[in-house]
C-alpha cells in the first residue's frame, strides 16, 4: 500500500488518540492530600506521623477507592520554620498537584500556609494550630480550622472550672504573645462566670526551667486554681515542679494534650484539669474509631489533633465524592464552601458543622486527669467533668472580626 | 574592575549560567531561597573569611532585615526595592551598634558578645508588638518593583532575587580585592603588625562588620519578599549556626564556597523534609564529616587540589 501523506497523518492521529485516550478513561483524577507536620521537633507527639495515619484511616473508612476516588497522601516535616512550611506548601500546590494540606502544628507555620492556600486557591484543613486568628482576622475562604483554638481552650477551662467551684485563680504565664493571650482570654471568662483572678506572674520565655519562685507565689496567693498559660515542655516542667512542691491547689493546664499527660505519667499529672474536644475513651463511637486506628498503630492513642485530621479528611472526601473529583479539584474555595454547607458527622467528634468563618464546631469537654488508682488500663487517663455544647464551645461568629462574615 | 582571576572568571560565568538555566529545571521558590541564603553566607564569609572574625550573631541582622522589609512592605506599601533597602539599612544600623561593642574583643569573646547581642534582638522580637510574636508578620504582599513592575509571578521575582544576589556577590568580591580588602586580610593574618604599619585596625574591622551586617539585612529582606512572611526563625540563634555551617561546608575564605554551601544546605532542608528527623541528623553528620575530612570546605578543597584561587 503506497503511504500517502493523508494516510500517514490519519493513522498517526488515530494512534495518538488511542494512546492518550486509554489512560484518561482508566484513571479518575487523583485527589492528593499533603500532611504537613512536625516530624522532628516539639510538636511531634501532637502531630507527627500519627496525623498522616489518621488521614489514611479516614480514606479507608470512607471507602474512597470503592467510591471511585483515587486518593494519595504525601507528608513532610516543616521543621517548625514558617519559611520551610510555606516553601513546601507552594511546591506541593505548584508542582506536585496537592489539593489539600492537613494538620500543621505551630500557629506561625499555619498562618503562612493559610496565605499560600488562598493565593493558589487550594484547601487548608488545619487541625493542630492554636491561634484563633485563623478564623478571626486572618480567615480566608480556603481554610477550615478543626479541633481547637485558644479561645475555646481558655473558655472551656476558665468558665467551666469556675462553675464547678474554682472561683479564685492565679496565673503562671509564659511571657510572650501566646501566653498573654491565653491569660487575657481566660481572665475574661473567669470574671464573666463570677470568679476572681487574684494575681499572675510572668516568666521569661523561652528558656525558663526553674519555676519554683513562680510556683511559690502561686501557692502564697491562696487561689483555688493555678492556671498555666503556657504550652508543650513548659507545661510539663511547671506541672512536674508543682507536684514536687506539693501544691494542693487545682492545677489547670490551658493547653495540654493527652501525649503530655502520657509523658508526665499519672502520679505527676493526676488532678490536672484541662479542655479537649476529643478523648479516645469518651463514647462508643470514639472507642470504635480508636480500635480501628489501633489496628494500624498499636502503641499510641490519638490526641485531639490527630482525631481532627481524621475528621477533616473524612468530611473533605464526602464532599469530594458528592462533587466529583474533577470538580473538587477545580477550585479550593468552592469545595470549602460545600464543606461549610454540609453538616459533619464522624466517629471522632460526632455530629457537627463548619461555620462560614471556617470554624468547625463540635462539643468541648472539661476533663480531669485520673489518679493512678482510678486508671484501669493503658491510656485510661481522663474523667469527664463537664460538656460544653458545640454552639457555646467556640468564639461567637460576630466577635472574630473575620472579613468573610457579613453582619 | 572586579579583578577576577581566570579561574574565578570561569567559575563566575558558570554560576551566572546556572542561575539563568536553573529555574527551568528546579522550583523557582526553592532557588530564590537558596540565593537569599547564599547572599547571607557570602556576607558572613566577608567577616570570617577575610577579617577572621567569627560572628555568632548574624541572625540578628538577617532577621531584623526580614522583619523591617516585611513590615514596611505590608504597612507602608513600600515597593520591593525600597523594602529590601530598608532591611539592609536596619541591618547596617544594628551592625554599627553590635560591631562597635564586639570588635574590642577577639576570638571566643567576640563570638560570645555577638551571640549575646543577637539574643537580645531575639527576645525583643518575641516581645515587640510589631513583629507579631511567635506568629510573625504574615501575608506580606509581594510589592511591585519601583512601584510599577508587578512581582506576583515567581519568575519575575526570581530575576529580582538573582539580580540582588549577583549585585551583593560582586560587591563583596570588589571589597575583598580592593586596597581596603588587602588591609582586612592583613588584620586577619597579624593584627599587631597591621597596627604597627599605621592602620587603625578597629575602624577597618568596624566597617567590615557593618558591611557584612548590611548585606545580611538585604538577604533577610529579600527572603521576606519571597515568602511573604517574617518570623522568629530568622532571628533565632540556630540561624546564626546555620550560616556558619553553610560557609564552613562551602569553604571559608573562598568567594564561591558560601554559595555552594547554601545550595547544599538548602537542598537538604527541602528535599529531606519528607523524612522527618533525618534533616537534623544529616546536617550534623555533614558538619562532622566536613570538620574531620575536608576542613577547607568543598570549594576550598577543590581549589587547593587544582592549585587555584576560587
Interchain CB distance below 8 Å, B27 and A115: no
Q: Is the CB of residue A90 less than 8 Å away from at least one CB of chain B?
A: yes
- Per-residue pLDDT of A162-219, as tens digits, reads 988 889 999 999 887 788 888 988 999 999 999 999 999 999 877 788 999 999 999 9
Helix axes B80-102, B107-127, angle to 10 degrees: 130
pLDDT at A6: 60
What is the spatial distance between Cα A111 and Cα A107, in angstroms, rounded to a whole number? 6
Least Cα separation, residue B241 to chain A (angstroms): 15
Cβ contacts of A98 on chain B, cutoff 8 Å: none
Sign of CA dihedral A79, A85, A89, A92: negative
pLDDT at A27: 61
Task: Answer left, alpha or beta for residue B128, where phi above 0 means left and psi between -120 and 50 means alpha.
Answer: beta
Q: What is the ipTM of this complex?
A: 0.83
Q: Which of A282-286, A307-311, B257-261, B301-305 has the lowest mean pLDDT?
A: B301-305
- Per-residue pLDDT of A36-87, as tens digits, reads 999 888 888 899 999 999 999 999 999 998 888 999 999 999 988 888 899 9
- Spatial contact of B287 and B279, defined as CB atoms under 8 Å apart: no
Q: Is the CB of residue A211 less than 8 Å away from at least one CB of chain B?
A: no
Cβ contacts of B277 on chain A, cutoff 8 Å: 39-40, 77
Q: Measured at the alpha carbon of residue A18, what is the angle toward residues A17 and A20, in degrees to the nearest 5? A: 65
Contact partners, residue B309, CB within 8 Å, separation at least 6: B5, B7, B8, B303
Residues of chain A with pLDDT > 70: what percent?
93
Q: Is the CB of residue A191 less than 8 Å away from at least one CB of chain B?
A: no
pLDDT at B90: 97
Q: Which residue of B has its CA nearest to A93?
A: B27
Considering the entire predicted model, what is its pTM? 0.85
Q: Is the CB of residue A231 less than 8 Å away from at least one CB of chain B?
A: no
What is the spatial distance between Cα B220 and Cα B61, in angstroms, rounded to a whole number? 8
Which grid cell sits at A299? 502503641
pLDDT at A199: 93
Interchain CB distance below 8 Å, A112 and B29: no
Find the mean pLDDT for residues A261-267. 92
- Spatial contact of A161 and A250, defined as CB atoms under 8 Å apart: yes
What is the spatial distance between Cα B27 and Cα A303, in angstroms, rounded to a whole number? 35
Interchain CB distance below 8 Å, A82 and B228: no
- Per-residue pLDDT of A362-406, as tens digits, reads 999 999 999 999 999 999 999 999 999 999 999 999 888 899 987
pLDDT at B118: 95
Q: How does residue A1 score in pLDDT terms, banded at 50, 70 and 90?
A: very low
* DSSP 8-state class, residue A360: E
Distance set, CA B114 to CA A11, B117, B120, B157, B247 (Å): 73, 5, 10, 33, 18
Reference A59, options A31, A38, A96, A98; nearest CA is: A31
What is the spatial distance between Cα B64 and Cα B131, in angstroms, rounded to a whole number? 10
Which grid cell sits at A71? 486518593
Nearest to B29 among A75, A91, A107 (CB): A91
From first to last of the 310 residues of chain B, give the pLDDT tens digit. 667 888 899 999 999 999 999 999 999 999 999 999 999 999 999 999 999 999 999 999 999 999 999 999 999 988 999 999 999 999 999 999 999 999 998 889 999 999 999 999 999 998 888 888 878 898 888 888 887 888 888 899 999 999 999 999 999 999 999 999 999 999 999 999 999 999 999 999 999 999 999 999 999 999 999 999 999 999 999 999 999 999 999 999 899 999 999 999 899 888 887 777 777 788 888 888 888 888 889 999 989 888 888 8
For residues A6 and A236, which has the higher predicted lDDT (pLDDT)?
Answer: A236
Least Cα separation, residue B140 to chain A (angstroms): 9
In order of their start, the domains of chain A are 30-148+282-362 (3.40.50.2300), 151-276+364-393 (3.40.50.2300)
3-state secondary structure at position A98: coil
Task: Answer left, alpha or beta for residue B144, where phi above 0 means left and psi between -120 and 50 means alpha.
Answer: beta
pLDDT at A384: 94
pLDDT at B134: 79
Distance set, CA B169 to CA A261, B42, B302 (Å): 52, 7, 20
What is the spatial distance between Cα A260 and Cα A236, in angstroms, rounded to a whole number? 7
Interchain CB distance below 8 Å, B134 and A111: no
Mean pLDDT of chain A, nearest integer: 89
Domain ranges of chain B: 26-236
Task: Please compute, for residue A397, the number of CA atoms within 13 A of its CA located in the half-sphere on the CB side.
Answer: 13
* DSSP 8-state class, residue A186: H
**59-88 in A: which are within 8 Å (CB) of B?**
74-84, 86-88
Task: Please compute, for residue B275, the number of CA atoms within 13 A of its CA located in the half-sphere on the CB side.
Answer: 10
Q: Is the CB of residue A205 less than 8 Å away from at least one CB of chain B?
A: yes
Q: Which residue of B has its CA nearest to A81?
A: B233
Neighbours of B237 (CB within 10 A): 15
pLDDT at A23: 44
Neighbours of B135 (CB within 10 A): 24
For residues A147 and B150, which has the higher predicted lDDT (pLDDT)?
Answer: A147
Residue recorded with cell 471522632: A348
Interchain CB distance below 8 Å, B227 and A82: yes
Which grid cell sits at B71? 513590615
pLDDT at B127: 83
Nearest to B29 among A74, A90, A205 (CB): A90
- Spatial contact of A35 and A56, defined as CB atoms under 8 Å apart: no
Q: Can you give chain B as a three-state secondary structure string?
A: CCCCCHHHHHHHHHHHHHHHHHHHHCCHHHHHHHHHHHHHHHHHHHHHHHCCCCCCCHHHHHHHHHHHHHHHHHHHCCCHHHHHHHHHHHHHHHHHHHHHHHCCCCHHHHHHHHHHHHHHHHHHHHHCCCCCHHHCECCCCCCCECCCECCCCHHHHHHHHHHHHHHHHHHHHHHHCCHHHHHHHHHHHCHHHHHHCCCCHHHHHHHHHHHHHHHHHHHHHHHHHHHCCECHHHCCHHHHHHHHHHHHHHCCCCCCHHHHHHHHHHHHHHHCHHHCCHHHHHHHHHHHHHHHHCCCHHHHHHHHHHCCCC
Interface test with A, best of B229, B232, B236, B262 (most A CBs within 10 A): B229
Residue A209: φ, ψ to 5°: -115, -20
Sign of CA dihedral A269, A273, A279, A284: positive
Q: Is the CB of residue A357 less than 8 Å away from at least one CB of chain B?
A: no
- Per-residue pLDDT of A176-187, as tens digits, reads 778 888 898 899
- Cis check: omega of the bond before A159, within 30 degrees of 0: no
Give the containing element (helix H, strand E) for A383. strand A382-388
Nearest to B29 among A74, A87, A111 (CB): A87
A-B C-beta contacts closer than 8 Å: 101
Distance set, CA A27 to CA A21, A24, A318 (Å): 10, 6, 19
pLDDT at A25: 43
Burial of A127 (C-beta count, 10 Å sphere; 0-12/13-18/19+): buried
Amino acid at each position: 500500500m503506497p503511504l500517502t501523506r493523508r494516510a500517514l497523518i490519519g493513522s498517526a492521529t488515530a494512534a495518538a488518540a488511542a494512546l492518550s485516550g486509554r489512560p484518561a478513561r482508566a484513571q479518575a483524577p487523583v485527589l492528593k492530600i499533603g500532611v504537613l507536620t512536625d516530624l522532628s521537633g516539639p510538636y511531634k507527639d501532637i502531630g507527627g506521623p500519627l496525623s498522616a495515619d489518621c488521614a489514611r484511616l479516614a480514606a479507608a473508612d470512607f471507602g474512597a477507592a470503592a467510591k471511585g476516588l483515587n486518593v494519595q497522601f504525601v507528608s513532610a516535616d516543616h521543621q517548625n520554620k514558617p519559611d520551610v512550611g510555606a516553601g513546601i506548601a507552594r511546591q506541593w500546590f505548584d508542582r506536585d498537584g496537592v489539593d489539600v494540606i492537613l494538620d500543621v502544628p505551630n500557629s506561625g507555620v499555619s498562618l503562612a500556609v493559610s496565605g499560600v492556600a488562598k493565593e493558589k486557591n487550594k484547601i487548608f484543613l488545619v487541625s493542630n494550630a492554636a491561634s484563633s486568628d485563623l478564623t478571626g482576622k486572618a480567615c480566608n475562604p480556603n481554610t477550615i480550622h478543626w479541633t481547637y483554638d485558644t479561645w475555646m481552650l481558655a473558655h472551656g477551662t476558665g468558665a467551666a472550672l469556675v462553675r464547678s467551684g474554682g472561683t479564685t485563680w492565679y496565673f503562671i504565664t509564659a511571657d510572650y504573645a501566646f501566653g498573654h493571650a491565653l491569660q487575657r482570654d481566660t481572665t475574661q471568662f473567669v470574671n464573666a462566670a463570677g470568679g476572681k483572678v487574684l494575681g499572675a506572674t510572668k516568666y521569661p520565655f523561652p528558656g525558663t526551667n526553674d519555676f519554683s519562685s513562680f510556683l511559690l507565689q502561686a501557692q502564697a496567693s491562696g487561689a483555688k486554681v493555678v492556671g498555666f498559660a503556657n504550652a508543650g515542655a513548659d507545661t510539663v516542667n511547671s506541672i512536674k515542679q508543682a507536684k514536687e512542691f506539693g501544691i494542693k491547689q487545682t492545677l489547670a493546664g490551658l493547653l495540654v494534650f493527652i501525649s503530655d499527660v502520657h509523658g508526665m505519667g499519672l502520679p505527676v499529672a493526676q488532678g490536672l484539669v484541662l479542655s479537649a474536644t476529643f478523648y479516645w475513651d469518651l463514647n462508643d463511637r470514639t472507642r470504635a474509631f480508636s480500635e480501628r486506628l489501633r489496628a494500624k498503630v498499636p502503641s499510641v492513642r490519638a490526641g485531639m489533633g490527630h482525631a481532627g485530621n481524621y475528621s477533616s479528611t473524612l468530611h473533605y472526601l464526602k464532599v469530594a465524592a458528592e462533587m466529583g473529583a474533577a470538580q473538587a479539584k477545580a477550585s479550593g474555595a468552592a469545595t470549602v464552601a460545600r464543606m461549610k454547607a454540609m453538616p459533619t458527622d464522624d466517629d471522632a467528634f460526632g455530629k457537627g458543622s463548619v461555620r462560614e468563618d471556617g470554624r468547625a464546631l463540635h462539643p468541648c469537654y472539661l476533663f480531669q486527669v485520673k489518679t493512678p488508682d482510678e486508671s484501669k488500663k493503658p491510656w485510661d487517663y481522663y474523667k469527664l467533668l463537664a460538656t460544653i455544647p458545640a454552639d457555646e464551645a467556640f468564639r461567637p461568629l460576630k466577635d472574630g472580626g473575620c472579613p468573610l462574615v457579613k453582619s | 574592575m572586579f579583578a577576577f582571576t581566570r579561574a574565578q572568571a570561569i567559575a563566575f560565568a558558570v554560576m551566572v549560567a546556572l542561575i539563568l538555566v536553573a529555574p527551568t529545571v528546579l522550583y523557582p521558590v526553592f532557588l530564590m531561597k537558596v540565593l537569599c541564603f547564599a547572599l547571607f553566607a557570602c556576607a558572613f564569609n566577608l567577616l570570617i573569611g577575610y577579617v577572621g572574625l567569627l560572628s555568632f550573631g548574624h541572625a540578628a541582622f538577617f532577621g531584623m532585615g526580614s522583619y523591617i522589609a516585611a513590615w514596611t512592605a505590608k504597612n507602608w506599601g513600600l515597593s520591593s526595592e525600597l523594602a529590601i533597602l530598608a532591611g539592609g539599612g536596619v541591618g547596617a544600623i544594628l551592625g554599627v551598634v553590635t560591631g562597635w561593642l564586639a570588635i574590642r574583643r577577639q576570638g571566643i569573646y567576640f563570638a560570645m558578645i555577638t551571640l549575646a547581642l543577637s539574643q537580645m534582638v531575639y527576645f525583643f522580637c518575641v516581645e515587640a508588638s510589631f513583629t507579631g510574636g511567635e506568629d510573625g508578620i504574615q501575608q506580606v504582599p509581594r510589592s511591585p518593583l519601583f512601584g510599577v513592575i508587578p512581582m506576583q509571578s515567581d519568575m519575575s521575582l526570581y530575576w529580582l532575587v538573582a539580580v540582588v544576589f549577583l549585585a551583593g556577590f560582586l560587591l563583596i568580591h570588589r571589597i575583598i580585592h580592593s586596597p581596603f580588602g588587602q588591609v582586612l586580610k592583613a588584620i586577619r593574618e597579624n593584627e599587631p603588625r597591621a597596627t604597627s604599619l599605621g592602620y587603625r585596625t578597629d575602624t577597618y574591622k568596624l566597617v567590615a562588620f557593618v558591611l557584612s551586617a548590611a548585606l545580611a539585612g538585604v538577604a533577610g529582606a529579600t527572603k521576606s519578599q519571597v515568602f511573604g512572611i517574617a518570623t522568629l526563625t530568622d532571628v533565632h540563634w540556630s540561624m546564626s549556626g546555620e550560616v556558619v555551617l553553610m560557609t564552613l561546608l562551602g569553604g571559608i575564605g573562598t568567594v564561591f564556597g558560601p554559595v555552594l554551601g547554601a545550595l547544599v544546605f538548602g537542598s537538604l532542608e527541602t528535599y529531606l523534609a519528607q523524612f522527618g528527623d533525618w534533616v537534623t541528623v544529616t546536617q550534623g553528620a555533614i558538619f562532622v564529616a566536613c570538620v574531620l575530612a575536608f576542613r577547607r570546605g568543598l570549594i576550598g578543597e577543590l581549589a587547593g587540589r587544582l592549585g587555584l584561587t576560587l
